[in-house]
Amino acid sequence: MSGCDTWLGVSEVDLDDRTSYQGLDSEGMLDFAVDFPAQVERAAEIGQGFVSSSRLTLRSPRQVVLAGMGGSGVGGEFLARLCEPRASVPILVCRNYEIPAFVDPDTLFIACSHSGDTEETLAAAAAARRRGACVLCITTDGRLKHFARRHGIELLEIPRTDPPMPPRAALGYLLVPLLWVLGSVGLYADAAGEIEEAVPLLERLRERVGPRVPTARNQAKRLANQLVGKIPWIQGTVGLMSVAAYRWRCQFNENSKTLAYSSEYPELNHNEVVGWELAKRLGLGVEVVVLRRPGDHWRNRARVDITRKLLKGKAKVHMVEAQGRSPLAQLLWTVYLGDFTSLYLAFLNGVNPAATDAIIVLKKELAGLQSPQE
């Protein structure tokens, strides 16, 4: 039976029998997910070690900008949301070749590229250096590492793995050390305490949704089965769950090889909610996953409940409530559940979650282009 048969809801994959999909996971993406709690611990050690020997000269930045694309940039998105209620300066993510006009010597500019060869991030880092910003580079290797060493720029190296780990599987390495970096400039307190809560919480979640747990007791496997042949639409409450919804969307895109969309409350109640009116008549194969957390504004929690009623008969709605006390623990718990769900859906779809053929083709096409100014 071919992999494409899974789109018709027919699959030889049994999520409770790992041997049935082992051949689809040649790069070990599921193993990377299983190891994630330990990765978070190792990343915390890297962050602590870096700040103890760091030579960052800017101790009171007026703004923080993180440049990064794809999985290398999502850590910045998480950081910005985590810092909204606590940081005294703005934290923005730059996903472009060009940087904001306000970047200056009072800016902490973090260039993050897992491979070290992301062209947009390299261009942004060079521009920030020319502006006199305090630049920090985060990478495993590549041109960004050489750029940092050539110009005497602070470098935070994260581990290279064998087999190679895609950026989206390296979230712990790309996020957690940043908490210590921001703590060193007075913008993020008690990262150690939050990690101390988050790691055992993630371990307990793994015990509930990991590959050894049968579907009957496994929330991630059950949800993946519901999403076969569907378009996942992830709705998150503004703030932490909004960026978690974005992560879920990207993981469905890259791991599961399926279209997925994300939106946030309360904004979606001012436009998107009306767009669902013809969903049933148009036969849209969409399933909604709502991400929320105990700390949400009570009006947004009410909006979720009312919107769920409005979607009745138009789309099936799956509810996910974040676990944990601290914002970081809640965010990582929710993301971890989504990572497992996207991997299980990839196997049900009959695809290799590590493969990103379209991105590789696009990069090769771009590599052959010359600037119109040349």
Per-residue confidence band for 4, with pLDDT thresholds at 50, 70 and 90: very low
- Catalytic, 146? Answer no
- Catalytic, 157? Answer no
**End-to-end CA separation in angstroms for the chain:** 51
Per-residue confidence band for 373, with pLDDT thresholds at 50, 70 and 90: low
pLDDT beyond 90 at 219: yes
Long-range contacts of 318-323 (CB under 8 A, 24+ apart): 318/223, 318/226, 318/287, 318/288, 318/289, 318/290, 319/290, 319/292, 320/289, 320/290, 320/291, 320/292, 321/292, 321/293, 321/294, 322/240, 322/241, 322/244, 322/291, 322/292, 322/293, 322/294, 323/201, 323/205
Average pLDDT over residues 107-128: 96
- Catalytic, 270? Answer yes
pLDDT beyond 60 at 113: yes
Is omega for the bond preceding 177 within 30 degrees of 0, making it cis?
no
What's the pLDDT at 374? 56
* All structural domains of the chain: 3-26+211-348 (3.40.50.10490), 32-189 (3.40.50.10490)
pLDDT digits (tens, 9 = 90+) for 274-296: 999 888 787 789 999 999 999 99
Average pLDDT over residues 111-115: 95
Per-residue confidence band for 311, with pLDDT thresholds at 50, 70 and 90: very high
pLDDT beyond 90 at 146: yes
Q: Which of 120, 194, 254, 264 is catalytic?
A: 254
Per-residue confidence band for 11, with pLDDT thresholds at 50, 70 and 90: low
Q: Which of 270, 309, 312, 364 is catalytic?
A: 270
